[in-house]
Chains A and B, each alone.
Chain A
Amino acid sequence: MTEGKTAPLLQVQDLRVAREGHEILRGVDLQVDAGSVHVVLGLNGSGKSTLAYTLMGAGGYTTLGGSILLEGEDITQEPIDARARRGLTLAWQEPARFEGLSVERYLSLGQPEPDRERLLEALEAVNLDRAYLPRYVDEGLSGGERKRVELAAVFAMRPRLAILDEPDSGIDRFTLDDIATLMRRMASEGSAVLLISHRDEVVQIADHASLICGGRIMQTGLPDVICDRYTQYCSPCEQPIVVERGDSYA
């Protein structure tokens, strides 16, 4: 495919998704370039997690229309593991717990080949020390620790595109600076990040940002512009204000 070479890493076109008969994503257009950090900002209930899970291919959602292209290839109908093997992964807003699965093993699961150095590096990147390696990824970890482990697992995997759903929520002392450092590090290794958040400060670390409301991307553009729009105009609204979609980045 010649188009594959120039195609953006991720291209979402007019994606419409329903859950239990309710249309939640109502025509999402989004583009993420290789190696970039793209923030999607939106209020509670705007459809952020739904977008994250449908991009990953999680079950329980029905695609009503539109498409998801990864490096030019249509993955809209692909199962999760096939998407993951293409280099797409997700850190869940509320990560699952696993009985009897150690942090060390959990971090290594997504690695193309075993690399212990990388595991230690991943832990360090989220401010956890190696004493966590033998601990279980179960109820014994606090909510914040579990989220850090999730980020470390994504980092250890060296994905092409990591979708991070509210990575900062519930994590104390993991400042914006820490997240920025982690994102930059991932980007420098060639991983792109789609960071989903309701916190406007997060936009500072992005190359691009989009505003989601009522299941639609209302605007995409430079981080400052999106941040202003979000902080000045966004309030929970019954009817999303319909504006032009897919503004160019420039």
Chain B
Amino acid sequence: MRDLDLILQAYEASGGDPDLLKNDRVARLVISGNEVIGLNEIQGISMQAEPLEDGVRVRLEVAPGVQIPQPVHLCFGVIPESGVQRIVSDFDIGDGADVAFTAHCTFPNALEVRHVMDGTITVGAGAHMRYHETHYHGETGGVVVEPLARVQVGEGGSYTSTFSLSEGRAGKVAFQYEVDVAEQGSAELNARVMGYGDDEVLVRETIRLNGVGARGLAKSRIALRENARGEVYGTTEGNAAGTRGHIDCIEIVRDEAIANAVPVVRVTDPQAQVTHEAAIGTVDKKELETLLARGLTEEQAVDVIVRGMLEG
């Protein structure tokens, strides 16, 4: 199977462990273009994948109360230089379930590839979902990636997502995440993106803390150089008593890169609290000088700081 080999290669190059994609005890879904080339269900998880003209529609359910021991592996890619891949997904995490996902998206040869991840996610009451997505877009910058997600976190449930792109070009990345959190639930959104060349990184995240005691954290770490652009719009709403939200945005810019951050905090209940911090600019002077005092050159020191920020 040529496609599978190519996608496995790309997956491995982006930091994935190919053995896991062969292990039958690991739930997985591998999609190349609009073709499902690997699907493995395990007890407690059901997956349906149906091809669309320009992608795949996926429905994934985790049964209530089930704890999935190993992360579910998702691997999406487009191997040719051009193409569209739209993954329309519906994730339903049953009440009290606990599951982690490791997703790898690779477009190693992209000159003109568009990848849309259009997800609807429901995390049930008391359920926990962690989603870790790593992207590798090659060195040409010819990718447009649009991760869109609408997430509902039920009472006492938690949702954590991490999007990471710290190798190769970003191309154009436009996130749009909207999360609603019910009573005592929590949501944490992490975006870590590096951009250079004429890459564009746009992050739009909204967390609505609707239930009493709900918590939210939106954390973005963007490193830009050359002519890259970055925009981060983070909105967090505290709509009930005892809600706690925080927006934490750091963008490091070098060369001709331009960044902006617009944190919006909105509180509609006097007992809610939402805070934000945003730091945009060059690397922190003291961090830099500390590493210089260890004998690193300025370039090495900046590299250590930026990598740490993107990986931490």
Contact = CB atoms under 8 A, between A and B. Distances in A.
B304 A101 contact: yes
B134 to A, nearest CB: 15
B311 interface: yes
Interface residues of A, number: 28
A84 B294 contact: yes
Interface in B269-304: 284-287, 289-298, 301, 304
A90 B307 CA distance: 23
A3 to B, nearest CB: 25
Interface string A21-34: 00000000000000
Chain B interface size, as a band, is 20 to 34
A99 B279 CA distance: 14
Contacts of B309: 99-100
Contacts of A84: 292-296
Given A81-B297, A101-B304, A110-B295, A95 B290 contact: yes
Given A81-B298, A92-B286, A96-B286, A56 B307 contact: no
Interface string A78-118: 01110111001110100111111100010001100000000
Nearest to A85: B295
B305 interface: yes
A96 B292 contact: no
B241 to A, nearest CB: 28
Contacts of A110: 294-296
A79 B299 CA distance: 14
Interface in A39-86: 56, 58-60, 79-81, 83-85
A157 interface: yes
A70 to B, nearest CB: 14
B312 interface: yes
A80 B292 CA distance: 6
A99 B312 contact: yes
B310 interface: yes
A227 to B, nearest CB: 29
Contacts of A60: 285
A100 B292 contact: no
Contact of B312 (A56, A109, A136): A136
A60 B305 CA distance: 21
Given A59-B289, A95-B290, A96-B286, A109 B308 contact: no
A138 interface: yes
Contacts of A125: none
Contact of A81 (B284, B295, B307): B295
Given A59-B285, A101-B308, A136-B312, A96 B290 contact: yes
A218 interface: no
A58 B291 CA distance: 11
Residue from B294, B298, B311 having most chain A Cβ neighbours under 10 A: B294
B118 to A, nearest CB: 30
B305 A98 contact: yes
A56 B290 CA distance: 10
A83 B301 CA distance: 15
A96 B287 contact: yes
A198 B286 CA distance: 23
A153 interface: yes
Residue from B286, B287, B295, B304 having most chain A Cβ neighbours under 10 A: B295
Contacts of B305: 98, 101
Contact of A80 (B284, B289, B311): B289
Contacts of B311: 100
A96 B285 CA distance: 9
Nearest to A107: B294
Given A58-B289, A59-B289, A96-B287, A101 B312 contact: yes
Contacts of A98: 287, 304-305, 308
Contacts of A97: 287
Given A98-B305, A101-B304, A157 B287 contact: no
Interface string B70-109: 0000000000000000000000000000000000000000
Given A84-B292, A92-B286, A157-B295, 19 more contacts: A56-B293, A58-B289, A80-B292, A80-B293, A81-B293, A81-B295, A88-B293, A96-B284, A96-B287, A98-B308, A99-B309, A100-B308, A100-B309, A100-B312, A109-B291, A110-B295, A110-B296, A138-B312, A157-B294
29 contacts: A56-B289, A59-B289, A60-B285, A79-B292, A80-B289, A80-B292, A81-B297, A84-B292, A84-B293, A84-B295, A84-B296, A88-B293, A89-B294, A89-B295, A92-B290, A96-B286, A96-B290, A98-B304, A98-B305, A99-B309, A99-B312, A100-B308, A100-B309, A100-B311, A105-B304, A109-B291, A109-B296, A110-B294, A157-B294
Pick the 4 closest A-B CB pairs, nearest first: A100-B312, A110-B294, A100-B308, A99-B312
